[in-house]
Amino acid sequence: MRKVRFIHTADLHLDTPFKGLGYLPEALFNRIKQSTFDSFERIITVAIRQKVDFVVISGDLYDGANRSLRAQLFLKKQFVRLEQADIQVFAIHGNHDHLQGKFVQLTWPENVHFFGSEEPDMHPYRKNNDVVAHLYGYSYPQRAVTENIATRYEVIEGAPFHIALLHGTVGGNTDHDPYAPFTLQELIDKPFDYWALGHIHIRSELNQEPPIVYSGNIQGLNRKEEGSKGCYLVELSEVGNDLQFIQTAPIEWQSTTLSTEGMEGMDDLLNGLQKLKEAFRSKQTDTILSVSIDPGNSFGSELQDPSVIEDMLDHLQEGEEDEASFVWINRLVVEHRNEDLLRDLKDSHFLKEMMEVFNDLDQLDEVLEPLAKHRKAKRFVSKDAFDPEEIKREAQNLLIETMTKESGR
């Protein structure tokens, strides 16, 4: 029975600066900056242990087109590990690591095959002198590729399996720039046995037959990219396909809500938060955690004071840089019951008008973007991590807190 086994990965984003986290203790920040490298090294270890035939990388190997020599040398070292295990590599460049960048040119090991940027081209995979698979791909010649590249992929006969690498946006997805857009039906209609997709950081199996798969990125880059990250181990055969996701990211972004039901004071609340931290620590994966506190009827004005929240956060973060597995609470927010507060402040015409202004805000990105580009502020702000709806909610909460204090409630 003919079959082929490979690793599908994408969106390595080596050299990611992790803007917005520069305030962390240096030891933790260094671990976070290293996380994309560590995750990819784990992927290579999986490939060798699983004795796969090859590894496919569907774009954005680096976070920027002007990739550093350090990142390239790291990648070359990992590819040499694969070469020593007789494992091939097939890779395309995406919008982040397009070919117009300025960087030091290296010579890659013979097992590494990069696809060109003029048209989708094909590289054969041979095993025991037999052609087992044809692999197809297209690298971005510049950052913005707005045409539908998928329509230009064509199968070349002569192999039992045909695998396409594509870095682009499936129709309807608005989380990322709409580069190389395509529809799911367009890929289904093409006679390929597997579509190895990149660009969208959320892992997604869009179709089962043939498998059309976003592997997601290998390491969450901000709090909008929660949960497990890694790669797919894929086996295609004449009788069926098998896909297995493998977690490799050393750090996970997570969010959770803590109810204060049954708690009687600040000591109970802090103990509850500590228990929450230890529950995540027991998973033995470094975690950056966002916690929402549902105050219920147990807490009053003390959780409406920003200085109290800030002191709680400092207390919960203390000593985490010394832990073998850290749980860093990055955000601590209180879920305000805005409806009740608005009812109490029903005579505030100013507040009502301000709420209408919030509802009309739909171009918040344009307001926030200059902050992300500011020479000093950009170290602490990541435009990719902006959540306009959350920013509006927090601004509403701050306004209501201020009105509540001024009204003496």
The residue ranges of every structural domain in the chain are 3-247, 250-335, 343-409
Residue 269: other Cβ atoms inside 10 A: 20
pLDDT at 331: 95
Q: Determine the residue type at 26.
A: E
Summarised one tens digit per residue, pLDDT across range 316-359 is 999 999 999 999 999 999 987 555 555 555 556 666 666 666 66
Name the residue type at position 61.
Answer: L
Q: Which one-letter amino acid corresponds to residue 204?
A: S
Residue-wise pLDDT for 261-296, tens only, equals 999 899 999 999 999 999 999 999 999 999 999 988
Q: How far is Cα 13 from Cα 61, in angstroms, rounded to an integer?
A: 5
Q: In DSSP terms, which residues pair with 197 in a beta bridge? A: 166, 214
d(CA 71, CA 92): 16
Percent helix / strand / coil, the chain, rounded to 5 = 35, 25, 40
Q: Are 198 and 58 in contact (CB under 8 A)?
A: yes
Q: Which residues contact 192 (CB under 8 A, 6 or more apart)?
A: 136, 153, 155, 162, 163, 164, 210
- 152-170 mean pLDDT: 98
Q: How many CA atoms lie within 13 A of 169 on its CB side?
A: 16
**Omega within 30 of 0 (cis) for the link into 370:** no
What tokens appear for 238 in the block? 């004449």
Domain 3-247 grouped into CATH 3.30.413.10? no
Q: What is the pLDDT of residue 177?
A: 81
Mean pLDDT of the chain: 89
In this predicted structure, the answer to whether residue 408 has a pLDDT above a threshold of 60 is no
Per-residue pLDDT at 298: 73
pLDDT at position 360 is 60
Instruction: Report the sign of the C-alpha dihedral through residues 197, 201, 207, 208, in that order.
Output: positive
Range among 82-91, 172-181, 383-392 rated most confident: 82-91
CB neighbourhood size of 356 (10 A): 9
